[in-house]
Structure 1
Amino acid sequence: MRKKYVNLDNISTNKTFKDMMRWQRERKSKVKDLSVNIEQCKNKMVKELQENRNNTTYTWIGHSTFLIQLNGLNILTDPVWAQRMGFQKRLTPPGIPLEDMPEIDVVLISHGHYDHLDFPTIKQIKGNPQFFVPIGLKSLFLKKGYHRVIELNWWETVKHEGLTFHFVPAQHWTRRSATDMNTSHWGGWVIQNQVETFYFVGDTGYFPGFKEIGDRFHIDTVFMPIGAYEPEWFMAASHISPEDSVKAFLELKAKLFVPMHYGAYRLADDTGPEALERLYREWEKRQLPKEQLRVLLIGETVTNGGC
């Protein structure tokens, strides 16, 4: 029998068929404006990214996909360029076409949900990347023909080409078929060199683990999810709200908040602009420094400038 993975304190994210039906009834009564989407960056640094092997940069491709250039390596988080997610069409194009991306050295996977692990995308990635995946996922990659795969459990660490990668807890779940519910883990990735520490949270509800992660690491930049939270009675255990994402940021004691996981796919009832509005409102309510919040346009690169 395959091992099943669980959240801290055995927090359950399971929902019943009755819960699903209630959500669908509620969704029909909501009127959402899906015509307003997150803007694309007008000054994309495609050529610079292709040639860069010296400067530290990060670029938001969309949803939970970032290109991080660090220590001369090109790192992709949860690479998904899919034009559809289930029955839903992608709301905004990826920030950089996949064919224009540089060769990739490292791919980080947070968990196995299709909006975070898309093998048609992975098949088209340039280069011969090293994959770091949650424990339980390596066998799937091997079946797909990918052999440069290292799987980690929570709090495990691996060093690669001058960087250190830590797999840290999240509160979520995963499933790719009718028979593999929670048979692989889920989590986030802390990426360190001698100068900076980045934390890619992955997909999560708010949970006490943020405090421990903040105590263990001195985090400079956190890539934090803010979308797919509505209705909150259904989503809260597995998807963090904008307000709770700010609370988590403060517990992490990080220096910079970069929001993600909003605006690309309609996975829940909230929209990208709604998530951003709530994030800004909470930031102002707590009177946090404006310079600690870096909201990116799709395809925007942070280096010494931006859009």
Structure 2
Amino acid sequence: MKLSCISAAVLLGSALILSACSVPNTVQRQVGANAVIEQITEGDEQGRYRNLYRGERQYPTTCEANCYPAHPQVSCQSPAQNCRYTGPQPVPALNTGFSVQWLGHASFIIHTPDQQQLLLDPVLGQFDWPVSWAQHFAGIIKRPYLPEASAEQLAQTDAVLYSHLHYDHFSHATMAKIGTTPTYYMPLDMASYMPSAGYKVVEQAWYSQSKLGELTLHMVPAHHFNSRKLFDDFNRALWGAWLIEHNGKKLFFAGDTGYSAHFSDIQQRYGDIDICLLPIASYYHETDGAWYRYVHTTPEDALTAAEELNCKVMIPWGYGNGSWQMGDHSSHSPLLRLLHMQQQLQTTVPLLILNEGDSVTL
């Protein structure tokens, strides 16, 4: 009897501690008169979000053969694996006031003209749990490089912007490192996936906007999908991209996305883009390549998107020694294909190739 009472007391105490640690988040929703919300309206799938441009995809160009030739400015330890770009990194004189640091994969630190610091899809260390646990099992996920930022860097953060829920873009462990001081911006219905710790969250629909200091944060479409759990949450939260604007200067972060007409739509609404951070990886799969490309741009798709956005400079991401290497031949095969297809297509948008950890002021 005494033991039962002690056990009950321990359980009650644990519950009280856990309750005390759980602090409700503050959540605001930005929709606006010009917002677009694309959802299924009937049937068993009612309420699930969907892409603007669905159905069979037609791609402007596709590399058919010899897509990954070695490049003299990509130095590798083995063919297309564990590489470093050693070529020139010409910085266009854009005078935007934005500085960009690529941490790896999809994670960026952005310093803005009004002296703010933004984090884009920050995932530091490894993937979020449980994928970080699963990766230790032989060959499931290869990610030898660990993107990091110091505690001092994270403490300067004013806002965190997320594109979607996948474990390589949305990390509870990283949120705990960043803390509750910044405001967290994300697409609609993602706030329920945040840990309850007193975070300030703003959810946005496509073509909605928020003000942050002198910045305007536009949530715009991407062509992707969303899920976090094994069951029943497929596309229950929206996904998207971010357009960060200051005095007419614009930085675009595409998030994970396949190619579709949404790129042209964005340019028509907002005009030419100064800085485009575009993904070029995770499009290849031996048995399901059509699906992978449907939701991830190939390097040539990204080059086409950059032309349609009228980017003044394109910074590619997704390749690298810290990449998933799921949907890729190797760590730097996407970069080799990008450089090859840029030459083949003779595209006019300048490329600025970074290695993980590099910074540039534009």
**TM-score band, normalised by the shorter chain?**
0.7 to 0.9
Partners of 1:68 and 1:75 within 8 A in 2: yes
1:5 is matched with: 49
Q: CA separation of 1:161/1:38 partners in 2, compared to 1, >3 Å: closer, same or farther?
A: farther
Do structure 1's residue 109 and structure 2's residue 151 form an aligned pair?
no
Once the 2 structures are TM-superposed, how far is the Cα of residue 92 of structure 1 from its aligned partner?
1.9
RMSD: 2.5
- 1:249-277, Cα deviation, whole Å (9 max, x unpaired): 11111111000122222222432311001
Secondary structure, aligned partner of 1:198: strand
Aligned equivalent of 1:60, options 99, 102, 109: 102
Identity of aligned residues (%): 31
Q: CA separation of 1:57/1:93 partners in 2, compared to 1, >3 Å: closer, same or farther?
A: same
1:301 is matched with: 359
Aligned equivalent of 1:251, options 300, 308, 311: 308
Q: CA separation of 1:260/1:35 partners in 2, compared to 1, >3 Å: closer, same or farther?
A: closer
For residues 283 and 35 of structure 1, what CA distance do their matches in structure 2 show?
18
Once the 2 structures are TM-superposed, how far is the Cα of residue 196 of structure 1 from its aligned partner?
1.8
Matches within 5 A, 1:224-235: 224-231=278-285, 232-235=289-292
Q: CA separation of 1:252/1:35 partners in 2, compared to 1, >3 Å: closer, same or farther?
A: closer
Once the 2 structures are TM-superposed, how far is the Cα of residue 89 of structure 1 from its aligned partner?
4.1
- 1:19-61, Cα deviation, whole Å (9 max, x unpaired): xxxxxxxxxxxxxx688224399xxxxxxxxxxxxx6311000
Aligned equivalent of 1:125, options 168, 178, 188: 178
1:156 is matched with: 208
2:39 is matched with: none
In structure 2, list runs of 5 or more residues that go unmatched.
Answer: 1-43, 58-77, 87-96, 136-140
Once the 2 structures are TM-superposed, how far is the Cα of residue 62 of structure 1 from its aligned partner?
0.4
Partners of 2:125 and 2:146 within 8 A in 1: no
Once the 2 structures are TM-superposed, how far is the Cα of residue 188 of structure 1 from its aligned partner?
0.2
Once the 2 structures are TM-superposed, how far is the Cα of residue 303 of structure 1 from its aligned partner?
1.8
1:284 is matched with: 343
Once the 2 structures are TM-superposed, how far is the Cα of residue 235 of structure 1 from its aligned partner?
0.5
Partners of 1:81 and 1:98 within 8 A in 2: no
The alignment's TM-score, normalised by the length of structure 1, stands at 0.81
For residues 183 and 38 of structure 1, what CA distance do their matches in structure 2 show?
38
For residues 333 and 80 of structure 2, what CA distance do their matches in structure 1 show?
13
For residues 124 and 224 of structure 2, what CA distance do their matches in structure 1 show?
22
Aligned equivalent of 1:211, options 264, 268, 275: 264
The alignment's TM-score, normalised by the length of structure 2, stands at 0.69
Partners of 2:80 and 2:331 within 8 A in 1: no
For residues 113 and 136 of structure 1, what CA distance do their matches in structure 2 show?
14
Once the 2 structures are TM-superposed, how far is the Cα of residue 125 of structure 1 from its aligned partner?
1.4
- 1:260-300, Cα deviation, whole Å (9 max, x unpaired): 1222222224323110011001111122358x100101111
Aligned equivalent of 2:191, options 125, 131, 138: 138
2:251 is matched with: 198
In structure 1, list runs of 5 or more residues that go unmatched.
Answer: 14-32, 42-54
- 1:110-157, Cα deviation, whole Å (9 max, x unpaired): 00111110110111016611111000112222x432431000011111
Amino acid at match of 1:287: Q
Q: CA separation of 1:72/1:110 partners in 2, compared to 1, >3 Å: closer, same or farther?
A: same
For residues 293 and 219 of structure 1, what CA distance do their matches in structure 2 show?
14
Count of matched residue positions in the alignment of Structure 1 and Structure 2: 270
1:73 is matched with: 116
Amino acid at match of 1:300: D
